[in-house]
């Protein structure tokens, strides 16, 4: 009996040990997936890098060494980026971008990356040009919309030629393209120009849309020589200098109206778009504000006009009635910049103090405008368009969305008579029927002011 009892105890002990061992193995296999991912990261979690081919300094031997090293240390992939930046030649033969030798090296890199299990991304062009290179015909390259404006009187023949919109290659209207990041010392070739008519549209101006030329405010400034014609002529490129004020003080341009005037929006242009490396330093921005006052001595801020962008800012706001309006430029305090022994990028990232403000257009609008339309139309980048909503208060002073007529089909034969017929027919279309019958019976001509926009891609 005693022996039998010992055997039973031994068997039970062996069974318990086996059960514990099985549980340990099962627990080991059930390691937290997050922990297991850190121990053996999947390809999707591995870092990617930029792989620059600098100024044609490329060899197949170098490609092989680079890619094998990436794969060996756990990099998951790369983006191939062809660039120059005045890099000196360090190989026997440079492989210029898109030459047969360059393409052969590129094909080799793609094949080897695939064999090594590396993900490869490709920049769409050399450098930051984004749209290719000189082999892309202008008519196939990215384009922008430009326009000209003609105000005419409805109900009478119009004979004349609509002014051609600007054909300047640049970011907005006739603002020219600014030279980008270039430390090579080589002057870039002139940019090609391309122009083609796209559309002609007409719409009625509300009674409260009054041009600055009609209102003819008196223009004064803290410095420089400004006149209303130059500030409202639609030339966004030709800028006039306004001398800067001392730090924390204001330079200004003022409009004085004969009578208090209601203003809903402002357009301020500087003649040039902000460059790639012209981001303002914190505390180094010029504060630009539209101010209003009744006596020309005391003013209150209406709206801030941010710097940067495409060189033109249109800011809409709830209507404000005043006799004096001015744009004030408050100079920032100087920002000390730490000195560095490396002068390669000196002057590029350091803030550049200026003793002047450039102004090419300054227009006060008596009718509604789309707030910051330049960004909303894709001419510039806005971090958050929800911060740029057009005020609801402007809905009563805007244009009816149905009040547009497309005259594009007649663009080739826009004679005065044809335009007059189209205008008169359209103008009566939106007048109440009883009024049409009455006015036509009395042989009156219904006069509508029309604005004609000639728009092009």
CA-wise closest residue to 386 among 375, 394, 397: 375
- One domain for residues 286 and 359: yes
Domain for residue 311, yes or no? Answer: yes
- One domain for residues 103 and 157: no
- One domain for residues 435 and 392: no
The DSSP output letter for 4 is H
Domain for residue 6, yes or no? Answer: no
- Of 80, 98, 122, which residue is a domain's last? 122
What single string gives the DSSP state of each residue in 208-230?
T---HHHH--EEEESSS---HHH
What local confidence, expressed as pLDDT, does residue 397 receive? 58
Share of the chain above pLDDT 90, in %: 43
The DSSP output letter for 101 is H
The yes-or-no verdict on residue 15 having pLDDT over 80 is: no
- One domain for residues 312 and 232: yes
CATH of the domain at 386: 2.60.120.260
Residues 144, 134: Cα–Cα separation, whole Å:
18
Determine the Cα angle at 91 with ends 90 and 95, to 5°: 115
Average pLDDT value for residue range 318-340: 84
Q: Which residue has the higher pLDDT, 127 or 265?
A: 265
The DSSP element (H or E) to which 114 belongs, if any, is: helix 100-115
- One domain for residues 435 and 405: yes
What local confidence, expressed as pLDDT, does residue 54 receive? 92
Each residue of 133-174: pLDDT tens digit? 677 788 887 888 999 998 888 777 777 788 889 999 889 999
Residues 439, 430: Cα–Cα separation, whole Å:
14
Q: pTM of the entire structure?
A: 0.68
- One domain for residues 165 and 81: no
Domain for residue 449, yes or no? Answer: yes
- One domain for residues 192 and 100: no
The DSSP output letter for 167 is -
What local confidence, expressed as pLDDT, does residue 178 receive? 76
- One domain for residues 58 and 151: no
Assign 92 to helix, strand or coil: coil
Q: Which residue has the higher pLDDT, 349 or 44?
A: 44
Average pLDDT value for residue range 193-201: 87
CB atoms within 10 A of CB 168: 19
Each residue of 425-450: pLDDT tens digit? 333 223 232 332 323 222 223 334 44
Query: What are the beta bridge partners of residue 241?
Result: 358
- Of 122, 154, 177, which residue is a domain's last? 122
* Pairing mode of beta strands 240-243, 287-293: unpaired
The DSSP output letter for 136 is S
pLDDT band at 295 (very low <50, low <70, confident <90, very high): very high
CA-wise closest residue to 181 among 98, 307, 309, 278: 278
- Of 90, 122, 154, which residue is a domain's last? 122
Domain for residue 345, yes or no? Answer: no
What local confidence, expressed as pLDDT, does residue 49 receive? 95
Range of the domain at 247: 208-334+353-397
pLDDT band at 191 (very low <50, low <70, confident <90, very high): confident
- One domain for residues 248 and 386: yes
- One domain for residues 377 and 231: yes
The DSSP output letter for 58 is -
Work out how many domains the chain is built from and give that number. 3
- One domain for residues 252 and 289: yes
Domain for residue 456, yes or no? Answer: yes
What local confidence, expressed as pLDDT, does residue 17 receive? 46
Domain for residue 38, yes or no? Answer: no
- One domain for residues 216 and 309: yes
What local confidence, expressed as pLDDT, does residue 444 receive? 28
pLDDT band at 13 (very low <50, low <70, confident <90, very high): very low
Domain for residue 389, yes or no? Answer: yes
Beta-strand ranges (E) seen in 185-296 are 197-204, 218-221, 240-243, 250-269, 287-293
pLDDT band at 403 (very low <50, low <70, confident <90, very high): confident
The yes-or-no verdict on residue 379 having pLDDT over 70 is: yes
Domain for residue 25, yes or no? Answer: no
Residues 272, 178: Cα–Cα separation, whole Å:
7
Q: Which residue has the higher pLDDT, 199 or 422?
A: 199
Share of the chain above pLDDT 70, in %: 70
């Amino acid at each position: 009996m005693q022996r039998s009892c010992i055997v039973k105890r031994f068997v039970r002990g062996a069974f318990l040990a086996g059960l514990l061992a099985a549980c340990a193995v099962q627990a080991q296999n059930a390691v937290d997936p997050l922990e297991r991912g850190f121990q053996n990261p999947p390809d999707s979690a591995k870092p990617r890098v930029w792989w620059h081919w600098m100024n044609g300094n490329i060899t197949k031997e170098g490609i092989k060494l680079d890619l094998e090293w990436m794969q060996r240390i756990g990099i998951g992939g790369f983006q191939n980026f062809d660039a120059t930046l005045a890099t000196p030649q360090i190989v026997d033969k440079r492989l210029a971008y898109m030459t047969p030798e360059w393409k052969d090296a590129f094909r080799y890199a793609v094949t080897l990356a695939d064999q090594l299990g590396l993900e490869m991304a490709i920049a769409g062009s050399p450098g930051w040009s984004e749209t290719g290179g000189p082999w892309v015909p202008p008519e196939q390259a990215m384009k922008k919309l430009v326009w000209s404006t003609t105000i005419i009187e409805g109900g009478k023949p119009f004979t004349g030629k609509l002014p051609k919109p600007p054909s300047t290659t640049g970011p907005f209207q006739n603002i020219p393209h600014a030279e980008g990041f270039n430390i090579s010392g080589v002057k870039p070739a002139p940019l090609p120009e391309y122009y083609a008519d796209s559309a002609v549209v007409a719409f009625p101006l509300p009674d409260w849309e009054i041009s600055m030329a009609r209102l003819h405010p008196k223009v004064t400034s803290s410095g420089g020589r400004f006149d209303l014609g130059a500030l409202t002529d639609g030339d966004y490129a030709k800028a006039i200098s306004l001398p800067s004020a001392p730090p924390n003080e204001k330079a200004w341009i003022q409009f004085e109206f004969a009578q208090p005037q209601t203003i809903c929006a402002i357009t301020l242009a500087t003649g040039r778009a902000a460059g790639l490396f012209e981001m303002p330093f914190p505390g180094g921005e010029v504060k630009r504000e539209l101010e209003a006052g009744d006596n020309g001595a005391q003013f209150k801020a209406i709206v801030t006009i941010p710097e940067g962008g495409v060189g033109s800012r249109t800011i809409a706001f709830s209507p404000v009635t005043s006799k004096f309006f001015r744009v004030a430029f408050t100079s920032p305090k100087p920002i000390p910049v730490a000195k560095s022994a490396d002068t390669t990028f000196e002057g590029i990232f350091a803030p550049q103090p200026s003793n002047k403000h450039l102004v090419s257009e300054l227009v006060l609008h008596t009718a509604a405008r789309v707030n910051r339309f330049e960004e909303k139309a894709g001419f510039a980048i806005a971090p958050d368009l929800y911060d740029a909503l057009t005020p609801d208060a402007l809905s009563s002073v805007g244009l009816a969305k149905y009040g547009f007529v497309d005259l594009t089909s007649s663009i080739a034969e826009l004679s005065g008579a044809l335009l007059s017929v189209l205008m008169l027919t359209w103008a009566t279309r939106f007048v109440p029927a009883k009024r049409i019958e009455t006015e036509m019976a009395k042989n009156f001509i219904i006069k509508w002011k029309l604005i004609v926009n000639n728009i092009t891609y």
